[in-house]
Amino acid sequence: MNDNSKVLLVDGMALLFRGFYATAYTGNFMINSKGIPTNGIYGFLNYFIDSIQTFSPSHVICCWDMGSKTFRSEIYDQYKSNRGEPPIELVPQFDLIKEVVEAFEVPNIGIKGYEADDCIGTLANHYSKEQDVLIVTGDQDMLQLVDKRVSVALMKKGTGNYDVHTHDTFHEQKGILPLQVIDLKGLMGDSSDNYPGVKGIGEKTALKLIKEFGSIDELLNNLDNVSKGIKKKIEENLEMLHLSRNLAKIHCEVPISCSLEDALWRMDNERVVTKLEDLEFKNVSRWMNKVI
């Protein structure tokens, strides 16, 4: 393995959903002659190919959620219960996008009972022992994975815009350490994942408390040193505080593996073009020219 190797871990669900909603709001579902909507796949490819072009990885892996039932929904049945069923136009694109990724000879990784985040965390931990790892996602939760050899590129609005967080810059950008993100989320909760944290404590207060005490455990050991109002809120929501911290923590010991040889970026142009033309995408050469 050469010193310039870089493993790109792609949060497939983040790219697909972002690609879908970027076009769906106009009602443009790009339905092909077989009656299959392809707008999510098209949007995914724009983001996916841009990340290859921007970060020039030596290896690429794409991770996926495998259904809504996970160990998190088992320990808290309201987890993500605020999310409705995926749009009917997106459903057929879930399987198709994996076929497209396969055409790029990029491994699709996912396992029932866990989220894509957990797969990414597990692989990042494994590969970063010897390689640099970059995670492309839209999910702030992934920031807890930043480490000496693990960086996280958060997708911003539009294509080609990333907020890259590295081990060297993280504290300066956020004011806390990567692993403290878990305790931060434990206190403030996460409305998008539908767990409340400590009711009445928002991001600003949670950040102040983590900066002051370093962790939830230290905060609980020093409750007499916080205001009566905050102490009361924490004591009344103690069970949910611990539960929220467990929900926020990315599980990095998922029973998955992927050899780096299988993840080597070595695109077969002909195979990719055949697949994209089968989906009836136009201007396929525009994408190909970006990653050749």
pLDDT digits (tens, 9 = 90+) for 27-59: 788 999 999 999 999 999 999 999 999 999 999
Contacts of 216 (CB under 8 A, 6+ apart): 183, 186, 187, 241, 245
pLDDT digits (tens, 9 = 90+) for 98-116: 999 999 999 999 999 999 9
Q: Would residue 253 count as lying in a domain?
A: no
Whether 65 and 116 have beta carbons less than 8 Å apart is answered as yes
- Whether 120 and 230 map to the same domain: the answer is no
How many domains does the chain contain in total?
Answer: 2
- Whether 65 and 147 map to the same domain: the answer is yes
Q: Would residue 211 count as lying in a domain?
A: yes
- Whether 199 and 265 map to the same domain: the answer is no
- Whether 142 and 243 map to the same domain: the answer is no
pLDDT at 248 over 80: yes
Q: 78, exposed or middle or buried, with CB in 10 Å at 0-12, 13-18, 19+? A: exposed
- Whether 73 and 199 map to the same domain: the answer is no
- Whether 15 and 154 map to the same domain: the answer is yes
pLDDT at 287 over 90: no
List the strands of the sheet with 150-155, edge to edge: 108-109, 59-63, 6-11, 132-137, 150-155, 162-165
Higher-confidence position of 26 and 101:
101
Global confidence as pTM: 0.94
The residue type found at 251 is H
Write out the residue range of the structural domain in which residue 70 sits. Answer: 6-170+259-291
- Whether 99 and 215 map to the same domain: the answer is no
* Confidence bin at 3 (pLDDT 50/70/90): low
- What is the mean pLDDT of the segment spanning 208-225? 96
- What is the mean pLDDT of the segment spanning 212-223? 96
Cα separation, 91 vs 145, whole angstroms: 30
Read off the CATH number of the domain in which 185 is found.
Answer: 1.10.150.20
Higher-confidence position of 24 and 226:
226
Higher-confidence position of 84 and 187:
187
- Whether 238 and 273 map to the same domain: the answer is no
% of residues, the chain, pLDDT over 90: 80
% of residues, the chain, pLDDT over 70: 98
pLDDT at 218 over 60: yes
- Whether 164 and 194 map to the same domain: the answer is no
- Whether 115 and 40 map to the same domain: the answer is yes
Q: Would residue 264 count as lying in a domain?
A: yes
User: Which SS3 state, helix, strand or coil, does residue 62 take?
Assistant: strand
Cα separation, 84 vs 222, whole angstroms: 40
Q: Would residue 1 count as lying in a domain?
A: no
- What is the mean pLDDT of the segment spanning 234-254? 96
Predicted pLDDT of residue 292: 61
Whether 12 and 64 have beta carbons less than 8 Å apart is answered as yes
Predicted pLDDT of residue 265: 96
Nearest to 88 by CA among 161, 39, 125: 39
Mean per-residue pLDDT of the chain: 92
User: Which SS3 state, helix, strand or coil, does residue 252 take?
Assistant: coil
Cα separation, 12 vs 44, whole angstroms: 8
pLDDT at 60 over 60: yes
Q: Would residue 254 count as lying in a domain?
A: no
